[in-house]
Each structure stands twice: as structure tokens, then as C-alpha cells.
Amino acid sequence: RAGLEPAVLATLRWAGLRAGELCTQPLSGLDLDAQLLTVVGKGTKQRTVPIPDVLATALDHYLHEVRPTLPTSPLLFTNPYGQQGGQPLTGRALLDLCRSAGANASITGPHTALRWRHTYASLSLARGVDLYVVSRLLGHARVETTQRYLHLDTGALSNAIRRAYP
């Protein structure tokens, strides 16, 4: 699990996948050369998520050093503790992995895949990625769903007005 954890957490952080998407992500959906991850989300809707260098590096290490030690599977991530080889990473195993990472980092609050997804969305928006782009990256059918990740403080509002009306 030690080798699996960094790759799973990096994928949650840098690709913003839902827990179910990560657990069922096929290996064939990853194109490291193009730095793209093709994801099948809710309603079997397919989307392509560009992955940054930091995630590409983590996944490259995982694929070459860790994955060969795991059971053969068509999935990107398999459960190393599954009763049969090549089983998907379960929601419970993913939750345990997130909780363990949070506890080891001494970070308070809930440790779930959703928290990592929220971090991806919130930081993308805070760094200036357009709301509609983030909505598409997350696989939301409606942009209103994405708006809950938009946290505007007074400083951000003031900066926006100064840029609009110098």
C-alpha cells in the first residue's frame, strides 16, 4: 500500500476525480505521453482531464516501480489487499487510504476523496481557472454545481474590482 498511496492521492489532488471514478479508472484511459486522463464519470459521460507535470511524474513512478508488483488488472489502481488478484480499489479502501494520509500529516478535518476533489476545484478557481473550465474538468453537468467550490473573500473581490476599474 505504501507505493500505491502517493499515486492515488496525487491523482485525487491533481485530477479532481470522484472516488468512484478513481476506483474504476481503466489503465487504458491514461496517456502519459500526452498527459491526458480519459475518465468515465456519472451517467457514463466521458471527459478528458489534462494532468500536470507533478501528476505525470507520480504516475510514471507508480507505473514503472509499483504497479508491476501488484496483481494484473485492466484498472489503473488495484486493491493490493483484495481477496482475488486485480480487484478494483474499493471505496472503503480509498477512504482508509485518505484517512491514513491525513492522520500521518496531522491535518484536522475529514479525510475523504471528496476533500481532495474539493481542494482541486477550489485551488483551480483561486488560481484563476475559469469556472466553466473547472466545471468541465470535474464532469459537472451544470456550472451551478461547481459554484459551491468558489470561495470569494473580500480581498479577492477588491482585487477583481481594481483590475476591472483601474
Q: Of 1, 42, 67, 132, which one is the catalytic site residue? A: 42
First to last CA, the chain: 53
Confirm whether 99 is a catalytic residue. Answer: no
Active site residue 13: no
Do the beta carbons of residue 121 and residue 16 sit within 8 Å?
yes
Catalytic residue among 13, 67, 120, 140: 140
Q: Is residue 18 annotated as part of the catalytic site, yes or no?
A: yes
Q: Is 45 a catalytic residue?
A: no
Among candidate residues 62, 67, 111, 120, the one labeled active-site is 111
Residues 143 and 134: their CA atoms lie apart, in Å, by: 9
- Name the catalytic one among 62, 67, 117, 120: 117
Cell readout for 80 is: 493490493
Instruction: Point out the catalytic residue in the list 13, 62, 120, 149.
Output: 149
Count the neighbouring beta carbons within 10 Å of the beta carbon of residue 63. 15
Catalytic annotation on 92? no
149 catalytic? Reply is yes
Cite the active site residues: 18, 42, 111, 117, 140, 149
